[in-house]
Chains A and B, each alone.
Chain A
Amino acid sequence: MRRHALTFFCWLLLSLLLMAAGPVQVPLDGAPALGPADAPVVMVEFIDFQ
């Protein structure tokens, strides 16, 4: 239980740090994509299939 709480806390802390770091720019050239190129919202997913 304590281990889960600690894991969650670390994850939360990291998420907050990432959010506080400001917008992240991801170069998208040539990556597989769905949806129009001029869509106002772009969601990039870093994926591992396994």
Chain B
Amino acid sequence: MHEYQGRLRLVIKHYPYRYRDYSALAAQASEAARAQGKFWEMHDLMLSRKQLDRSSLAAYARELNLDVTRFLRELDSQMYLPQIKADFALARQLDFFQTPTFVINGRVLVGERPIEMFRQLIDQALAEVAPQ
């Protein structure tokens, strides 16, 4: 992101795997953290710590100085679930079946790939949109 500062926007869509225990819960936790301005912090914590049960998520919320009562209330009421389901439906509609899947200015890249491949696709996209 730093390398392409001002020229690249990263957008997250949720695609929780249906048969994993905590995928949907973690997606909702990221949105509950986002509601308190800490989406990326929660995103980073969940990916690095990997424990995604409710009590671990509550501990992350505490660590990030979120209002934990509000965080858990929103998590337990599943208030962000419709939004997660809409993203899920979109991924299905696009025939994506794996995470992570990336779309870079319309070009699809499936799976975890070497950073060079991202650079190449981003550079290519930048060249395509550059004024002639």
Chain A neighbourhood of B8, CB < 8 A? 35, 39, 41-43
Report yes or no: A34 in contact with B105, Cβ–Cβ below 8 A: no
Interface positions, chain A 1-50, Cβ under 8 Å from B, are: 11, 14-15, 18-19, 22-28, 31-37, 39-50
User: Which A residues are in CB contact (< 8 Å) with B43?
Assistant: 32, 49
Contact pattern, B 87-106, Cβ under 8 Å of A = 1, otherwise 0: 10011001110011111111
Find A26's partner among B6, B13, B52 (CB 8 Å cutoff): B13
Question: Which B residues lie within 8 Å of A48 (CB)?
Answer: 14-17, 20, 23, 27, 99-100
Decide if B110 touches A14 in the complex (CB within 8 Å): yes
Residue on A with the closest CB to B31?
A32
Return B69 CB to nearest CB of chain A, in Å.
22
CB-nearest residue of chain B to A33 = B11
Contacting residues, chain B, for A25 (C-beta < 8 A): 106
B108 touches A43 (CB 8 A): no
Q: List 8 A-B pairs, Cβ < 8 Å.
A: A26-B94, A32-B30, A34-B40, A35-B9, A39-B7, A42-B104, A45-B13, A49-B16
Is B10 close to A, CB under 8 A?
A: yes
Q: Give Cα A25 to B101, complex, Å.
A: 14
- Rounded to whole Å, the gap between the CB of B121 and the closest CB of chain A is 8
Q: With A24-B94, A33-B9, A40-B129 known to touch, is A11 a contact of B111 (CB < 8 Å)?
A: yes
Q: Closest 10 CB pairs between A and B?
A: A23-B106, A35-B9, A49-B26, A39-B9, A48-B99, A46-B15, A44-B103, A18-B108, A50-B23, A40-B129
